[in-house]
Amino acid sequence: MTISSLIQKNPSKIVLVVLDGVGGLPKDGKTELEYAHTPNLDGLAKVSACGLHTPVGYGITPGSGPGHLSLFGYDPLEFQIGRGILEALGLGVEVTKSDITMRCNYATIKDGLITDRRAGRIPTEQSKRITERLQSSIKRIDDIEVLFAPGMEHRFAIRLRFPHPLDTKASLIEDTDPQKEGKAPLRPNPLTKEAEAVAKVLERLISLVAEQIKAEQKANFILLRGISSLPDIPAFEDRYGLRALAIANYPMYRGLAKLVHMNTPALEGTVQDEVDFLKANFKDYDFFFVHVKKVDSYGEDGNFTEKAARIAEFDALLPQILELKPDVLIITGDHSTPAVMKAHSWHPVPVLIHSPYVLGGLCSAFSERECCRGELGIFHTTHLMPLALANALRLKKFGA
């Protein structure tokens, strides 16, 4: 890889803030970014390089995994990672080549149809209680060890440990989540011959779990997503020469960072707590990935006002990050989640890069429309890390 051959070390600091799902579409003429009160983001955009990026390709709607891998500089078409492995790693689950993992939702089902794919976003404490009950009741399916790992709100992970290493094709099984309410759960459909036996185990697992939780008012069924096994992927530090710290409250995003061997401490709390953790550890690392989740959550719920409020909440904290004087500060999202669509979308994601070595002066605010006017144009997300390294003066000249 050309970038790896150009890496040079220096003491510069790079901060990447990911406002999950930040891109939006207009409601009554304004996007969430345009509606939100963001004087600090707008002021920073005026003196930064701005643009928009596409995580996978034009017209392709990215999941959170591909979106973040692309931000980290890994082509998501080359490194196709299932959400299950990310959730499991983020929850601190040990994973080997003998394991199949999946990210699960508690859901509400009535008369065979899903009425709520997220079980009303039940409180984490309630979800943990149910998950622990499942673990005490279902420990094995024949010679396969079953591990349930509690997550946040309606989410949790399951690891199936087989008595022998598995072919990578054994995890190629379709999700059971139909992605819409009012539909029946799907069967775990195997996509390869190697996955057929695993799919049968999953059918038994779903049946066993459903029997255990059928009396729950909201969380009375489970949906399996991102069924996956452990991939081979180069370490972030080997690729870029950066010692990296991930600051993320949600397990899946810690899993993404752990997959590329960033330091990923388990954190809880608010965005302010994340900023405080950044400040406390700023001397010890070269690269900081700071993840802000709730922007995306409210976008998926179709709550335009609350999504804008979460953007404004971060804006109020931005001066604390600027006080650290990072050599390069990048603020963007992993994908767009317009509240008017209640889902991820294919729309390019606004981004700003602040450093001493940008043109700037082209945008008057941080928004989708203003970023269209910026010097970065519309580019593939995998180019963001080379731009970050260049602005940190961490890339040597190419050629004579």
How confident is the model over 343-383, as pLDDT tens digits?
A: 999 999 999 999 999 999 999 999 999 999 999 999 999 99
The answer for residues whose C-beta is within 8 angstroms of residue 111's C-beta and 6 or more apart is: none
| Surface-to-core class of residue 333, CB atoms within 10 Å of its CB (0-12 exposed, 13-18 middle, 19+ buried) | buried
Are both 361 and 244 inside the same structural domain?
A: yes
Dist CA 280 CA 325 (whole Å): 14
Are both 52 and 94 inside the same structural domain?
A: no
The answer for residues whose C-beta is within 8 angstroms of residue 399's C-beta and 6 or more apart is: none
Tell me what the pLDDT averaged over the chain comes to: 95
pLDDT greater than 90 at residue 188: yes
| Mean pLDDT for the stretch of residues 325-353 | 98
Are both 38 and 158 inside the same structural domain?
A: no
pLDDT greater than 60 at residue 164: yes
In a domain, 396, yes or no: no
| Mean pLDDT for the stretch of residues 322-329 | 98
* Residue pair 333/18 in contact by the 8 Å Cβ criterion: yes
Are both 20 and 90 inside the same structural domain?
A: no
| pLDDT > 70 fraction of the chain, expressed in percent and rounded | 100
Are both 75 and 91 inside the same structural domain?
A: no
pLDDT greater than 60 at residue 230: yes
Are both 58 and 90 inside the same structural domain?
A: no
**11's torsion region: left (phi>0), alpha (psi -120 to 50) or beta?**
alpha
Are both 44 and 132 inside the same structural domain?
A: no
For position 358, which CATH number holds? 3.40.720.10
In a domain, 397, yes or no: no
| pLDDT > 90 fraction of the chain, expressed in percent and rounded | 89
Residue 82: the pLDDT is 80
Q: How confident is the model at residue 1 (pLDDT cuts 50, 70, 90)?
A: low
Are both 258 and 270 inside the same structural domain?
A: yes
* Residue pair 168/229 in contact by the 8 Å Cβ criterion: yes
Domain boundary among 179, 203, 228: 228
Q: Which of 19-28, 39-48, 88-97, 139-148 has the lowest mean pLDDT?
A: 88-97
Number of domains in the chain: 2
* Residue pair 353/49 in contact by the 8 Å Cβ criterion: yes
- Supply the range of the domain harboring residue 357: 2-81+233-391
